[in-house]
Every structure is written in structure tokens, then in C-alpha cells.
Amino acid sequence: MFRHVLRNLMIPAALLLGTHSAVAESRLALVIGQSAYKSVPALPNPINDAKAVAQMLTDSGFEVSTASDLSQSQIRDQLSEFAGKVASKGGDSIALVFYAGHGVQIDGENFLIPVDIDPKRESDIPIQAVRLNDVLNTLTSAPSKMRILLLDACRNNPFAEISKSAGSGLAIIDAKIGAPNTFLSFSTSPGAVAEDGSGANSPYTTALLAAAKEANIPIEETFKRTRVSVNKATDGRQTPWDSSSLTEDFRFSGSPVPGPKLASTRKSVEQWTRDLKGKPVEAANEIMVADGTDESYEAFAALFAKTPQGVQARDWLDRHRRMVAWNDAVVINTAAGYRAFLAKFPDSDLTATARKLEERLRNRPDFAPVVAGTGAGAQNVALTCPCNAPSAPSAPPASPLKKVDAPIKRVDPNPPRRTDRPPPKRVRVPDDDVVVVRRPPPREVYEPAPEPSIGIGIGIGGGGYGGYGGHNRGGGRY
């Protein structure tokens, strides 16, 4: 009887816990496909890419919102509405955004291109497009456990005539300097362009769909496989790139592994040289692409320098280092920073932009005060009054006070007598104000004389007291 009752109690409890676990991790996705551009070349595949990715995410347990061929205001509205949905689910939700369409960088910033854009000059693009940083900030503003941004947006520059100095591809975005638990994936490496593909989907989306359906693999492994597949499909012309600040596990299919993620050990160039040496070029290239670090590319490019894959690896490494230096210059955003970039990379697709920004900032005053002895600008300096100002660094610190017994006073039995001294003479300062105070005259009582007489009485003092009669010196109010 007792076991039967206990079993009846345990079944609802298990169902309740299971429901709570499912609700605790809400998965929400916004999928946007931009194909029907009006003033720039149309793209046939983004609509197909968006539909296929939306289905894959639905199968992976996401609540998916889809939109296509959006104007600037419509993109912003969709992002705002999506952020509201994420916020309504609480802090345990996972928010994912997939975008397929045109994207460009202007002055080191990345922009997503709406279908109604019609710029007449390069400066019109930031006004008519949507900043990628705004997308990230919108996702960050909504409380969530994890943010995933997938961009198949690095196609050829659609504004070749008016943005010749903008640079190829997209600029680097480092997830490690933004909000934690963020994962970013670009369809190709920074500074490079992606292909739209000759089939129904782009090479990036095709590879992502296949890798995401693999059962129970973490997201990092999913995009390692995506990189390798895209690199093979394009004969090395295109290699996806990602950046992660995830501290928890995520899997498109299967249950995540609880607990913190283990930090991966990064190998040196020497270690990669030993690991890749003696391997066939195709196998070594696959290992290098899956790893995606500068060290593996450096080792591969040196070992296979005379092969086409070695040349591509060297090109990737040179471009990646240039884009890292460009990102540093943009983040610092000083004339000296852009001059340093130009000195290191005097002839690149970013040279014109770097010169323009350096010229713009050349005469900008530096308002950041430098803390003496540190060489660093002071940050968040609170205003203090002089009385609270710290003492000079050279002044030695005050020693703590020691308790000293008070000396015993001795009383002289024969104290010296006080000698009368004349009072000190008052020295009148010419600028002193002289105040005269008169005492009231004594009040006299007159009594009639015993015999009639004639007399004259004179009142002295004018009937009042002397002194200042409300004189206000200097004309001020007291």
C-alpha cells in the first residue's frame, strides 16, 4: 500500500521536474533572409538559406521567428520584437539570430544591408543600413543565458563604385571583449568575401545544416566541421570564422553537458610543426582548418609553402593578422593608432580608410589626463575638494601617535610676583573703522526750588544712543 502511494506521488513529481527543465532553457531564434535588393545586385540564395535554417532550428527545439526582404526600419522592428520575446522568457533563454544577405564594413564597422538601401555616396551607407553592433547590443540588453549570432553576410561588396576604400569583407568582432556567453560565426574569415553558391543554398548554409544535424556534438565542434566542409567545397577560397566567449555547453541536438567548459590548450608553432610534419597535404590542411589558429596556419604554411594549399594558408594568415591590427586601430581610434597600422601595412585594401581616419583625428585634442608615473589615462576620477586631496607622493607617511604619560606639574612655593605693566598702546590702523559708542546721559530729576527762580535746561545727547544706525558698508546684503 505504501509503495503504491509513493509511486503515485513520484510520477507527478518527475513530470513536474521534467517540465521545469524544459521551460528553464527556452530556445528562441530570429531568421532573416535578404534577397530582393532593389538598387544593388539581388542574391538568389538568402531566402532559401533562411527557410532551411529556420527548419533546422525548429527541429532543434527553437521557437523560430522568420522574416525576409526587410527595409531598415523593418529589421529594427524585428530585432526589437525578438528582444522582447527573449526578455519575456527570463534569464535562462538562448537567443539565436541568423542573417543571410549583403553585409559591408565602413570605417571599421560592420553593417547589415536592407533591401531598400539606395546610397549615393559612401557616407550614406551607415545612415541607411543597420549596424551589427546595434544587433549585438539589442541581444545583450535582453536577459538571456546565451547569445548566438550566425552571419552568412560576407558576400561581395555591392557598392564597389562608391565604397572603393571600404575594404573587403567584414571587420573582426571579438566575442571575448563583449558580453560573456556569446558565440559569433561568419561565413568566411574577416577581410574576405563569401560565395553565394551555385546550388539552392550557399556553401556556408549547406555545411551548417549538415553539421548541426550531427547528434550530440558541442557547438564548437559543429562549426569546426562547418569550416572544413566549406573549405573543401570552395577549394580553399572560403573558410568560415568564429569567435566564442561561451562558458557553458550548447548542442543543436542532444542534451548539453552540465558544468563549466574546460579551457582548451593552445599549441605553439613548434608543436603544430611536429604534429603536421609527414602528413599528406590534404590531411594536414583539414587539421589546420579545423583548428583555425594562427599557430597552425603558420606551421602549415611553412611546411607546405610550395603547394596551393600552402599559398592559401599564407594568404589567410597575412590577411588575418592585418585584420587583427586593423581591429586594434579601430578600437583605439587615435591618429597615432592609424599611423601605426599604415606603417605596418602601407599597401592594403584598408590603406585609404586608415589615411582618412588618421587625417580626421590628427588635430583632435587628447582630453584623457595622464597619471604621473603610470603613463595611463585616469579613469572614473571623482572630483574632490582640496581638503581631501591626497598628500604628495614624496611626503613620508605620518607615523602613528604614541601614548605618552603626561608630566607631573610641580608647584613653586614662591611664585614670582606679577609686575604691573602699563597697557600696550593702541596702534591705530588708518583703514580701521572707528566706532564711537556713547553712554546715555544720566537721567536727572528736577525738583522745584523752594523759591521762584529763572533757569535754562539744556538736553545733551540728542535724545538717542550713539553708534551705527544700520549703516551697510560696501553696499552688500547681509
What pLDDT score was predicted for residue 429?
47
Do 254 and 274 reside in the same domain of the chain? no
Q: Is residue 414 part of a domain?
A: no
Pairing between strand 94-100 and 27-33?
A: parallel
Angle between helices 72-89 and 132-141 (to 10 degrees): 20
Rounded Cα distance between 360 and 348, Å, is 19
Q: What is the mean pLDDT of residues 127-154?
A: 93
pTM: 0.72
What pLDDT score was predicted for residue 111?
95
Looking at per-residue confidence, does 24 or 227 come out higher? 227
Pairing between strand 241-244 and 109-112?
A: unpaired
Q: What is the mean pLDDT of residues 429-452?
A: 50
Looking at per-residue confidence, does 385 or 147 come out higher? 147
Among 171, 201, 209, CA closest to 56: 209
Rounded Cα distance between 425 and 388, Å, is 43
Asked if 57 and 101 touch (Cβ cutoff 8 Å), the reply is no
Q: What is the mean pLDDT of residues 368-395?
A: 39
What pLDDT score was predicted for residue 303?
97
Question: Which residues, at least 6 apart from 346, have a Cβ–Cβ distance to it below 8 Å?
Answer: none
What pLDDT score was predicted for residue 472?
39
Strands (E), 165-257: 182-186, 241-244
Do 242 and 346 reside in the same domain of the chain? no
**pLDDT class for 421, splitting at 50, 70, 90?**
low
* The domain boundary residue, chosen from 333, 363, 393: 363
Query: What's the distance, Cα to Cα, between the start and end of the chain in Å?
Result: 94
Rounded Cα distance between 327 and 13, Å, is 53
Q: How many domains does the chain have?
A: 2
When mean pLDDT is compared over 34-48, 311-325, 395-409, 448-462, the highest value belongs to: 311-325
What pLDDT score was predicted for residue 90?
83
Asked if 322 and 348 touch (Cβ cutoff 8 Å), the reply is yes
Rounded Cα distance between 10 and 17, Å, is 10
User: Could you tell me the CA-to-CA distances from 140 to 96, 216, 408 in Å, in that order?
Assistant: 12, 27, 73
**pLDDT class for 178, splitting at 50, 70, 90?**
confident
Q: Is residue 125 part of a domain?
A: yes
Do 120 and 230 reside in the same domain of the chain? yes
Looking at per-residue confidence, does 94 or 174 come out higher? 94
CATH number at residue 231: 3.40.50.1460
Calculate Rg over the CA atoms of the chain: 41
Do 146 and 241 reside in the same domain of the chain? yes
Do 79 and 154 reside in the same domain of the chain? yes
Do 73 and 143 reside in the same domain of the chain? yes
Q: Is residue 401 part of a domain?
A: no
Do 189 and 298 reside in the same domain of the chain? no
Q: What is the mean pLDDT of residues 312-321?
A: 96
Do 160 and 288 reside in the same domain of the chain? no
Looking at per-residue confidence, does 383 or 77 come out higher? 77
Q: Which amino acid appears at position 245 of this protein? A: S
**pLDDT class for 169, splitting at 50, 70, 90?**
confident
HSE-up of 181 (CA within 13 Å, CB side)? 18
Residue that is written with C-alpha cell 539606395 in the block:
118
Over residues 321-374, the pLDDT tens digits come to: 999 999 999 999 999 999 999 999 999 999 999 999 999 998 776 554 444 434
What pLDDT score was predicted for residue 369?
44
Rounded Cα distance between 291 and 299, Å, is 12
Q: Rounded to an integer, what is the distance from CA 117 to the centroid of its chain?
A: 28
Among 5-9, 55-59, 76-80, 239-243, name the one with the lowest average pLDDT: 5-9
Residue that is written with C-alpha cell 594549399 in the block:
309
Q: Is residue 436 part of a domain?
A: no
Q: What is the mean pLDDT of residues 384-412?
A: 46
**pLDDT class for 458, splitting at 50, 70, 90?**
very low
Do 49 and 130 reside in the same domain of the chain? yes
Do 44 and 145 reside in the same domain of the chain? yes
Q: Given a cut of 90, is residue 158 above it in pLDDT?
A: no
Q: What's the DSSP call for residue 86?
A: H
Do 102 and 205 reside in the same domain of the chain? yes
Rounded Cα distance between 240 and 208, Å, is 10
What pLDDT score was predicted for residue 363?
77
Q: Which domain holds residue 280?
A: 268-363
What pLDDT score was predicted for residue 413?
56
Rounded Cα distance between 214 and 228, Å, is 15
Residue that is written with C-alpha cell 551548417 in the block:
208
Average pLDDT score over the chain: 79
- Which strands sit side by side in the sheet containing 241-244, from one edge to the other? 63-68, 27-33, 94-100, 146-152, 182-186, 241-244
What pLDDT score was predicted for residue 40?
86
Q: Given a cut of 80, is residue 121 above it in pLDDT?
A: yes
What pLDDT score was predicted for residue 196?
83
Do 103 and 152 reside in the same domain of the chain? yes
Residue 473 C-alpha cell reads as 558698508
Rounded Cα distance between 223 and 236, Å, is 16
* The domain boundary residue, chosen from 234, 260, 286: 260
Q: Is residue 13 part of a domain?
A: no
